[in-house]
Structure 1
Amino acid sequence: MATLRQFEYLVTVVDTGSFTRAAESLHVTQPALSHQIRALERDLGGPLLERLPRSVRLTPLGRSVLPHARAALADAERLRSAARRTAGLESGELEVATVYSVSLGVLPPVLRGWRERHPGVRVRLREYPHADELQAAMSTGQADLAVGPTPPGWEGPVRELGTEEFVVVVAADDPLAGETSGSIALDSLAGRAWVHYAPGNGLADLFDRVCARAGFQAQVAIRAEQTAAVPLLAAAGLGPALVPANILPPGFDGLLLRPDPPIRRVLSAYGRIRPDPLTAAFADLLAHQVRSNLSLLRPVQG
């Protein structure tokens, strides 16, 4: 039966690109490493690696096995970490994965509150541009907890946190300032050129979908790689933008309009397995902050 050590050997060979470097990294002899890889291949029913003159390459079987090997190693490390926490240690590391917009708006006050309560526990934040990438990372055990849009069909624990509101941002001196009561139909902006998100950003897909529902395809004035730049460019007069209200800082210099009908997205915390006490405590703080902190559910001007 495959062992965690064999999985570790496989992952190290892939990550270092050679048996020699992997053996050095693992502090084992190369024959011992090769023996364990061959034993793993026999157990799994075929070759996992193709040995090239100066590197190695995964076989199709190896490509299918590698994500599970990484996940098994990540789960084992979290098991060891959970045991240390249960034993009363106040140090360690909590890995939290999220999408860019949530790391800008929802998480900062949560992380501040967490540090005040657990100063000895480090938080490692992994950020992804798209909810699909976040879900894929969680599927392979890359973090203890994911925070982002509710994943469809997720088989592990899911805890809904709240509903994220989106607003349209334009410059404070935009002609709309004198023509609206604070809300606007998205299709009334069909003729405008928008500040858009770069391809691959999950908010780009969301914006394209809501525009399609409103019956138009948005013209693009500029695309921004950084999520945080989009409302700033809109406020500078480069075009309207659709952004989560909670990413806007206090005193933001721009006109905020409510889309009519509203545009919302449910956010959740989710994981692969039942959370250990420390992960559960972080999820509790996260849920409390989202419910009670007005800066997370920012009211729209108008």
Structure 2
Amino acid sequence: MATLRQLEYLVTIVDEGSFTRAAEQLRITQPGLSHQFQALEREVGGPLLERLPRAVRLTPAGRAMLPHARAALADAERATTAARRAAGVATGELHLATLYSISFGVLPTALGIWRGRYPGVRVRLFEHRRADDLTAAMAAGQADIALGPPPTDWDGPTRYIGTEEFLVVTHTNDPIATSAQASRVRLSDLADREWVHFTPDSGLADILDQACAGAGFHPKTAVRTEQAPAAANYASAGLGPTLVPANTIPPHFAGALLRPDPPVHRQLTAYTRTGPDPIAAAFLEILTDQALLMPAHVRRRLHLPDRATQPRR
């Protein structure tokens, strides 16, 4: 049976791209690394890597084994951390995976509270562009908790956090923003506009495309960016309207904010591979209590009741 150490060798060789750099990273001799890796290949019954002149390449067997090796190492690290926590040692790292747009809008307040309560537990944050990338990374054991849209075909525990509302952002002098119904806008009224869109590898691009498709058109593009805050700034400068989560709008934002009609929402969940340990469970409680899905300053701009958080379901 493969040992954790041998699995660590496989992962490190792949990540470093060579046996020489992997041996340096692992602080063992290259012949020792090669010997142990050959033992692993004998155990699985075939080669896991193809040795090239300046690199290594995974064989089909190696590609099949690598995600399980990563997951096994992550599980072993979490098992050690859980044992230390059970012994009363609140130290180590909490691994958290999420999407870029969620990281900017939802996490800062929750992480600030977490830091105050658990200063000895560091947070390691993994950010992804798309929800399917996040789910795949979580399945491979990357993090203790994933925060994102509800995952499909997920067998582990899932907790509802809240529902984000998306807003149309545009220049304050845009006729749409100065009309009599300035607090709302029908997306179909923006069908002929050029939009501040998102790069194709951003999950926000899918949300904008789907919302516009529901309104009967495909958005034309003025410029593309990867991040919601940049899109809002470009839209505020007059490059065209955009669609971003309300919680990414900073205080004293100069652009116009409009609620799309019909509304555009994104549900957020926190999910784990197994039942969360006490520290991960504590973070979930903070996250549920403090997720600022519609900040108070945005609600005031939109003349909505001044409540910062969504009610729990």
Name the TM-score, length of structure 2 as normaliser.
0.90
**Equivalences for 1:1-302 in 2 at 5 Å?**
1-181=1-181, 182-290=183-291, 295=295, 298-299=298-299, 301=302
CA 1:183–1:294 in structure 2 vs 1: closer, same or farther (change >3 Å)? closer
Residue 23 of structure 1 contacts residue 30 of structure 1 at CA under 8 Å; is this kept in 2?
A: yes
Q: Could you list the runs of 5+ residues in structure 2 that have no partner in the other structure?
A: 304-313
Tell me the amino acid that sits aligned with residue 284 of structure 1. Answer: E
Shift of 1:220: 0.9
CA distance in 1, matches of 2:81, 2:189: 53
Give a deviation string over 1:98-156, Cα, whole Å, max 9, x none. Answer: 11111111111111111111122111111111112111211111111111111122121
For residue 176 of structure 1, give the secondary structure of its aligned residue in structure 2. Answer: coil
Distance 1:235 1:27, change over 3 A: closer
Q: Helix, strand or coil: the match of 1:178?
A: coil
- Aligned to 2:122, what secondary structure does the other structure show? strand
Letter in 2 for 1:228: P
Residue identity in the other structure for 2:166 = F
The secondary structure found in structure 1 opposite 2:89 is coil
Q: Which moved more, 1:170-179 or 1:242-251?
A: 170-179
Q: Which moved more, 1:153-162 or 1:170-179?
A: 170-179
* Deviation sequence 1:9-32 (CA, Å, 0-9, x none): 111222233334333433444444
Moved more, 10-19 or 219-228: 10-19
* Aligned partner of residue 177 in structure 2, secondary structure: helix
> Which sections of structure 1, spanning at least 5 residues, go unmatched?
none
Which deviates the most, 20-29 or 107-116?
Answer: 20-29
Aligned length: 301
1 CA distance for matches of 2:243 and 2:51? 50
Specify the alignment match of 2:309 in structure 1.
none
Change in Cα spacing, 1:83 to 1:216, as seen in structure 2 (3 Å) is same
Q: Which amino acid aligns with 2:231?
A: V
Q: Measured at CA, do residues 297 and 59 of structure 1 come closer, stay the same or move farther in structure 2, by a change above 3 Å?
A: farther
What is the distance in 1 between the residues matched to 2:75 and 2:266? Answer: 30
TM score, norm. by length of structure 1: 0.93
- Across the aligned residues of Structure 1 and Structure 2, the Cα RMSD in angstroms comes to 1.9
Deviation, 1:253, is 1.6
2:307 maps to which residue?
A: none
CA distance in 2, matches of 1:25, 1:192: 53
How far apart are residue 41 of structure 1 and its match? 2.0
CA distance in 1, matches of 2:294, 2:127: 24
1:231-250 deviation line (CA, Å, top 9, x unaligned): 11111111111111111112
- Pair 1:120–1:160, CA change in 2 (3 A): same
Taking a change above 3 Å as real, the CA distance of residues 223 and 18 of structure 1, as seen in their structure-2 partners, is: closer
Q: Share of identical aligned residues, percent?
A: 59
1:88 aligns to what SS in structure 2?
Answer: coil
- Offset from partner CA, 1:182-230 (integer Å, 9 cap, x none): 1111111101111111121100111111111211011111111332101
